[in-house]
Amino acid sequence: MTELLELSAARAAELVRAGEVSAGELFALYRDRARADELNAFLWVADGTPDPPAADAPLGGVPLAVKDLFCVEGVPSMAASRILEGYRPPYTATAVERLVSAGAPVLGKTNMDEFAMGSSNENSGFGPVRNPWDRDRVPGGSSGGSAAAVAAGLAPWAIGTDTGGSIRQPASLCGIVGMKPTYGAVSRYGMIAFASSLDQCGPLTRDVTDAALLLKHMVGRDRCDSTSLEFPEPIQLPTEERLDGVRFGVPPELTGEGVEAGVREVFDRTVALVEELGGTVEEIALPHSPHGIAAYYVLAPAEASANLARYDGVRYGPRARNGDLLSLYEETRANGFGAEVKRRIMLGTYALSSGYYEAYYGRAQRVRTKIADDFRNAFQRVDLVLTPTSPTVAFKLGERVHDPLAMYLSDYCTVPMPLAGIPAISIPGGLSEGLPVGIQVAGPAFSENRILTAAFALEQAIGFERRPFDDV
């Protein structure tokens, strides 16, 4: 049974379709591992065994871990928040529905930072997730449960959401692959909203091929999401192991000051590897990227303050028992929301308030436009942008809890891409101090195939060795 754990999801799907592996056996293996989870990666695990997949199901019955931010009909879907405790939605998110239809049954719901607000997975209403490489360290966030589950062999693959880096950063810290697609490429219908103009669903997997396979069955227009778009071409499974003629840009703004020496060393090796594989590397300018964190932490909380207004104790979850309506609202939200969610609601409400809207929100929107313009200019010279994913390796649990600014800077390299609406992937590049370092490859809108091809070539050349699952 344990040899099945070593199979990539794509390979497992092939064997199930060929009749060499039972889908039920595979599901039971991962279900039992998820139930024995010691990382607090899962908030709910499925009972029983799902019906066998169709003989031609492209995802072959390979079970899927789903971030708790996605609604799944009849299944607890709480965004890891006490204010939604026990909520079981009457419908399923489009992204999940498409993957289930393609043959990936839901294995369980994964832990996360409450309402996707965080970079460490310490903000969950149900306790922090631990990093499988070192249980005293964070897995990253907000999709830390999904990343830890895949890295620990508790799930063959998973989906998460990325608002400012919440797929790529935990993928980096856990030594797996994580991809944020172009904004609008994947439907947000049924994703519990944090910041609607930034949130995007994507895969977390063991390798680039699995990421491409999962993404292939997620993208596309959805009539339930007016921001979703028809993907211009089919997602292809990458096979090219060379980078001949591919032009990479390295921005000093995202690769210099603040990047740990060990992370920089792994990044420099990757840059050299690009050239060995036939690619070219040149310096590019993204002059407004250093302002990305400041702009993001105005825009995202502003949208969050509006989106989270609906959680008032009347429509969802538990409520404070008080006859006065205003007191009911106040007590329910005070008891139901965690500290980070309250902080961001307050920040966002202030930024949108009369007299401050233009000074904060309006200016942040202009910075966002400048960041998008920087990328457009860069992509006239290069095909892809290369940076570290996170400026540091996984940090200790509790190390940044009382320093929100240090926590926010964890997303320094990842925030500019969602502000510009462009896709990016993180792949493992090597180790620093025995912990994974992620390498980020970004491209223009709808360049997912180009990104996946480049990431695959780098992945094959790097030959990153994940920890044996028996050690987790």
Residue position matching structure tokens 């405790």? 85
Tabulate helix, strand, coil % of the chain (nearest 5): 40, 15, 45
Alpha helix positions (H), 126-192: 144-151, 168-174
Residue position matching structure tokens 């396979």? 213
How many other β-carbons are positioned within 10 Å of the β-carbon of residue 399?
A: 16
- Positions annotated as catalytic residues are 67, 142, 166
Residue among 137, 161, 136, 139 nearest 67 (CA): 161
Sheet holding 384-388, edge to edge: 42-45, 106-110, 64-67, 157-162, 200-205, 177-180, 424-432, 435-442, 384-388, 247-250, 280-283
DSSP class per residue in 422-466: --EEEEEEEEETTEEEEEEEE-STT-HHHHHHHHHHHHHHH---P
Contacts of 444 (CB under 8 A, 6+ apart): 375, 376, 379, 422
